[in-house]
Every structure is written in C-alpha cells, then in structure tokens.
C-alpha cells in the first residue's frame, strides 16, 4: 500500500497560488475503526486519488449536506414553495392587470426560482415554530 500523503492543513484548491493556503481547518473529528475497516477506507480513498482525510471529509460533508432527510421536512418545503409561488403569482398578476399589462414569463420563472431558494429555510422555520409550542391546548395562540 502506498504511504498516504500528509495534507497541508492550510490547503484549499481556491488559493491564489493554486497551492490552497487560503483555508485553515482547525477542528478534528475522530473515530475508531478496526484494522479491516481502516484498510477498506484507505483502499477507497486511494481509489479516489485522495488522502484518507480528504476522502472522509468530502464523504462526511456530502452526507451532512444531503437535506432534507426528514420526509416531513421535504413535504413541508414543497408546500411552502407552492404557497410562496401562488401568493406571489396572484399578486404579480393583479398588479400587472391594474397597470394594463401582462405577467411576463420571466417574472414567473423568477418567482419559481425564488421559491426554490427559500423553501427549505421556510419549512425549517415553520417546523421550529410548531415544535416550540407546548402540548395541545397549551400552545401559543
């Protein structure tokens, strides 16, 4: 097995020199594995052309960023986006009609894109507000 290269802790591919010194990673995540598991991880990292640290970091961040994991959150995000789009489309159409104009296709696309950008944050906010309420009959008005 090849000796894994030791990554520069200041390394980032975005560095002006290309050597990646603009990003400082100062925190460590540790876990215990069996010798067999370590061999599997090292083989996978080597197969990807990465150090074990790079491979594990990318895999962990990818998994952490795969959201929403909760189907309720996903459903609420889609409902929230639909609500946002409908309200904004009705408003934009009414405003255009009042001015004797028509709603342009670009406006519809912008409203859709904005709804997609904010839907997960809106869903999380709604869930947090709901979960912060007390039990039935004791909740906030």
Burial of 68 (0-12, 13-18, 19+ CB in 10 A): middle
pLDDT of residue 115: 95
Nearest by Cα to 127 from 74, 49, 84? 74
CA atoms within 13 A on the CB side of 56: 15
pLDDT score, position 19: 46
| Total-model pTM | 0.48
Q: Specify the pLDDT at position 38.
A: 94
| Alpha carbon distance 96, 88 (integer Å) | 12
Residue with tokens 């215990």: 32
Distances (CA, A) of 25 to 13, 33, 76: 13, 23, 35
| Euclidean distance between CA atoms 133 and 126, whole angstroms | 11
pLDDT recorded at residue 40: 94
pLDDT for the residue numbered 136: 55
10-residue stretch averages of pLDDT, the chain, 141 residues long: 49 46 79 94 94 93 74 90 96 95 94 94 89 63 49
pLDDT value at residue 50:
94
Residue 67, pLDDT score? 64
Q: What is the pLDDT of residue 65?
A: 78
Q: What is the pLDDT at residue 46? A: 95
- DSSP string of 50-80? S-HHHHHHHHHHHHHH----SHHHHHHHHHH
Instruction: Give the model's pLDDT for residue 21.
Output: 47
């Amino acid at each position: 097995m090849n000796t894994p290269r030791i990554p520069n802790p200041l390394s980032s591919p975005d560095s002006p020199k290309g050597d990646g010194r603009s990003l400082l990673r100062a925190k460590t995540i540790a876990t215990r594995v069996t010798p067999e598991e370590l061999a599997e991880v090292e083989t996978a990292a080597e197969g990807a052309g990465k150090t074990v640290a790079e491979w594990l970091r990318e895999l962990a961040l990818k998994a952490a960023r795969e959201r929403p994991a909760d189907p309720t959150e996903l459903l609420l995000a889609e409902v929230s986006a639909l609500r946002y789009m409908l309200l904004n489309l009705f408003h934009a159409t009414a405003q255009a009609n009042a001015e004797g104009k028509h709603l342009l296709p670009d406006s519809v696309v912008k409203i859709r894109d904005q709804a997609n950008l904010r839907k997960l944050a809106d869903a999380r906010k709604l869930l947090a507000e709901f979960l912060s309420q007390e039990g039935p009959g004791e909740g906030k008005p």
